[in-house]
Structure 1
């Protein structure tokens, strides 16, 4: 198929999308928010209407278009519990869950692997305080480690999820991270086929203890295509994919091991398999965009947040069941609620505008880290995501300048070094990487992590050398040596 024809099909699909999502905004899938007896929060004024819902074609579930991703739960120190060794702040999690339910969110996505193993328990505590028929629980069989590939270990993990979540059935169960690893197909077969675990899960679905069975896809496209080719056998109820306006056409260009979201979504749509969307913000990269992109988006919609553009993009496709967001703080939740209460579907012109924006963003050589932390923990204590994200942040803000003759070099150098030490303790910085490469095989984005860490360490070393050199030159001048 030539590029022109492919573009025409994509545009036609999107026009259908905008129409369907527009009906949803008008009330076809909507219901009123619950009242808030505690009184309105200041940010409630931005939540102008009713949550947009999508209907699961198999079960009739009315699922909120905004799904709560329980991957980045708040810690007692105020950060994400995925960072450091801080415990989950259960009281704040309860408040976030209560507020989400009050405002129409009913899909909560967790995993045994999230928050260093604590997410399912915290999710279970928060949700069990509410009637079971008021929410849908999604969790995953996260048997990544070879030690969990046996039938017994995998089944034990699944049964422990039921215990931690305080429920006797799972609404949406996923095979977690299909396609990841050095050989995606081989690992998929070892994790789910050779041990009979997928057959076991299908039996659990027939028994009603799993209401919907699907998988989350990362990496090897052969596995994705294989599982869809076997759809008649497995009858996938839903599939979770990474979709956002940058990955729509540029995922493979960013990283050859990834697949463009346009292909993934269309393959699901033509089989009428609902899509659950992860990484609508690319781990925050689409809310922390370069200043030039901020100006472009704000010129178009001054009152909307930068993140809202990405959420509107993901939600505007009619075969999307829900869009997941990891919301650590109340303001994240409130902003996302304002975007989906109700959804203002993208117009065809806005879709083009975001594709042009994505093309402009491709000019920035950011590292495609989504802060998923699958690379962690590093055996040498390096804070890999913090290092990569700090580099991206400085790049977006114009603080990566290699030429010492540039008039902004000294300002940028100072900003990078100060931020570097504040973001990452010295013992966890890039210069401690020995290149063992235990991290890269676990990265869904296929980043060559040791290469990037060595590049950052070299860059930081050059900045520090320049600082030392600058002091030496000043000293020489004072002594009359030059």
Structure 2
């Protein structure tokens, strides 16, 4: 990677707008405004949204919380083309028009073909997805284009060989997935570096799983740095990588934001001793029996039984960790009160096709049904 690259000057904490604070089914826009104010006041500038986040309400929050409240050139706004809704070349422009109208952004600083894998890569090549983003850039509707990625390293290599015009890639990078044979964080990182492609980091705390770690893993971190949060280790791990544009964090409350700002504002690279501490934790996590769901919710909208899969799998993980059936069953009944239960699964396979973590969701739901009914 060259010493100077796209996004090198961007502060290394990005505000991910996937998991915003909510009041019922609506975004708590006043809290989002307050969080955005604090974020910008501390020198951070990158905001990340996408077409499907919170059923479009995330992009709408951009318009209310950002546009007109900050000089447009002082912040970067990123969004993503929902490629799974595109079956022909004519499908792209109307979707981008909706996104620009929702956000009021006039243009996107960073625009991504969303969640490419092998199948979607082939579909984009077939219907001209890359031609579309190049035209959008020429027309001034986007400043830079790239893609987010959910597949194996060999597929990433193939995309970057075929499309050297991609200006950046968004990858899931965290210490827990670095050697994971399904996610392949480490291998994907090395592929991006080989191609000199700048990287936006997503899921640095793995959907919160690396922020709340009871038991031995959490105790290891606290014994080394009692005053630092567990999440701060994951954020610094991602921020210590080379060739990074920014590290996205889906902050859903002020406490999470303040912790991230405390960690990333006066950033310090991990030391060799700190890397060794993380390796201890990785060894512990490798022995843990939990489902690696990040609550991205890509599996939810198309589920014919309306099962809130991340919440259901979260109940299973809590049970596996604490073995308190009565307490966890109460929570499970609550989260499934207005949606499908695990026992409603018809094993259609939609969820597993969408899952970026490649989880055997059907098997997990069967286990949940056996435990909670």
The equivalences for 1:67-78 within 5 A come to 67-77=14-24
Query: 1:110 corresponds to which residue?
Result: 49
Aligned counterparts of 2:127 and 2:195: Cα–Cα separation in 1: 28
Are 2:316 and 1:395 aligned?
A: no
For residues 424-439 of structure 1, the aligned pairs below 5 Å read: 424-425=336-337, 428-439=340-351
Q: Quick one: structure 1 residues 228 and 294, their matched pair in 2 at CA, closer, same or farther if it must change by over 3 Å? A: same
- The alignment yields a C-alpha RMSD, in angstroms, of 2.0
Is the contact between residue 178 and residue 223 of structure 1 (CA under 8 Å) also seen in structure 2?
no
CA–CA distance in structure 2, aligned partners of residues 246 and 154 of structure 1: 35
Q: Report if the CA contact (8 A) 2:220-2:277 is conserved.
A: no
C-alpha offsets along residues 242-300 of structure 1, whole Å, 9 cap, x if unaligned? 00011111x21xxxxx2421111122223322110000111111112231211111001
What pairs with 1:193-232 in structure 2 (closer than 5 Å)? 193-231=125-163
2: CA distance, partners of 1:394 / 1:284: 17
Is 1:150 the counterpart of 2:62? The answer is no
| 1:268 and 2:178 matched | no
Paired residue for 1:241, among 171, 185, 189? 171
Residue deviations 1:119-171, cap 9 Å, x none? 111112211121101100111111213xx322122221112222222122211
TM-score for both structures, normalised by structure 2:
0.93
SS in 2 for 1:277: strand
* Matching of residue 140 in structure 1 with residue 80 in structure 2: yes
Q: Quick one: distance in 2 between partners of 1:69 and 1:448?
A: 27
How has the CA–CA distance of structure 1 residues 188 and 272 changed in structure 2, closer, same or farther, with 3 Å as cutoff? Answer: closer
SS at match of 1:349: helix
Q: Provide closer, same or farther for how the CA distance between residues 434 and 259 of structure 1 changes in structure 2, counting only shifts above 3 A.
A: closer
> 1:189 & 1:436 partners in 2: Cα distance?
24
> How far apart in 2 are the matches of 1:304 and 1:423?
31
Change over 3 Å in CA distance of 1:202–1:427 after alignment to 2:
closer
Contact kept in structure 2, 1:56 and 1:63, CA below 8 Å: no
Once the two structures are superposed, what CA deviation does each residue of 1:66-85 show, in whole Å capped at 9, x if it has no partner? 100011112123xxxxxxxx
2:202 is matched with which residue?
278
Contact 2:292 2:357 in 1 (8 A): yes
Counterpart pick for 1:97 among 29, 36, 48: 36
CA contact (8 A) 1:376 1:384 kept: yes
2:27 partner SS: coil
1: CA distance, partners of 2:122 / 2:184: 24
Query: In the aligned structure 1, how far is the partner of 2:354 from the partner of 2:365?
Result: 16
Change over 3 Å in CA distance of 1:426–1:113 after alignment to 2: closer
Unaligned runs of 5+ in 1: 1-12, 14-54, 78-85, 253-257, 400-411, 462-482
- Residues 38-81 of structure 1, C-alpha deviations (whole Å, 9 max, x = no match): xxxxxxxxxxxxxxxxx9624x662111100011112123xxxx
SS in 2 for 1:62: coil
**Counterpart of 2:151 in 1: which secondary structure?**
coil
What SS does the corresponding residue of 2:23 show, helix, strand or coil? coil
Counterparts of 1:15-54 in structure 2, within 5 Å, are none
Q: What is the DSSP-based 3-state SS (H/G/I as helix, E as strand, rest coil) of the residue aligned with 2:252?
A: coil
**Conserved 8 A contact 2:8-2:244:** no
Q: What is the alpha-carbon distance in structure 1 between the residues aligned to residue 56 and residue 136 of structure 2?
A: 23
Q: How many residues align?
A: 370
Q: Deviations along 1:90-117, whole A, 9 cap, x unmatched?
A: 2222121122111112000000110112
SS of equivalent residue, structure 2 residue 204: coil
